[in-house]
């Protein structure tokens, strides 16, 4: 039971770190941020919520769907509209599946701890 408690603490801190990094990254790039960045921030939280309630597989599957549509839009704007790809694009492609994975693992460890305590 001690191992599950440590895992819960680790994954909670990782989720907190991801939230802190995404919001601080947007804050420091606030002058360059556009509406798409705030939509992506909302999608990071949505994927984290889905990952928490559906587990690791649900979080990763939802992140695959979000990244597919986001990468399609970036590819379209890069090729057709001739916009450059910014570094924030790569940040979102890492933050989205990471938040889904961490919140899914947090949920799994919480469920394991509840199962052993009853």
Of 61 and 36, the structure prediction assigns the larger pLDDT to: 61
Q: How many residues does the chain have?
A: 118
- Residue 86 backbone class (left: φ over 0; alpha: ψ -120 to 50; beta: rest): beta
Cα(88)–Cα(65) distance, rounded to whole angstroms? Answer: 19
CB atoms within 10 A of CB 30: 8
CB atoms within 10 A of CB 54: 17
> pLDDT grade, residue 5 (50/70/90)?
confident
pLDDT at 30 (0 to 100):
66
**Is 63 in contact with 113 (CB distance < 8 Å)?**
no
- In tens, the pLDDT along 21-46 reads 888 877 877 667 688 888 998 999 99
pLDDT at 53 (0 to 100):
93
Instruction: Give this prediction's pTM.
Output: 0.85
């Amino acid at each position: 039971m001690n191992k599950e408690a440590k895992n819960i603490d680790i994954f909670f801190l990782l989720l907190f770190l991801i939230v802190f990094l995404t919001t601080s990254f947007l804050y420091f790039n606030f002058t360059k941020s556009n509406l798409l960045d705030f939509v992506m921030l909302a999608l990071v939280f949505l994927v984290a919520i889905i990952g928490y309630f559906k587990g690791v597989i649900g979080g990763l599957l939802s992140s695959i769907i979000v990244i597919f549509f986001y990468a399609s839009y970036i590819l379209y704007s890069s090729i057709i509209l001739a916009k450059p790809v910014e570094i924030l694009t790569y940040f979102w492609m890492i933050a989205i599946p990471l938040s889904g994975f961490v919140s899914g693992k947090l949920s799994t460890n919480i469920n394991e701890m509840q199962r052993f305590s009853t």
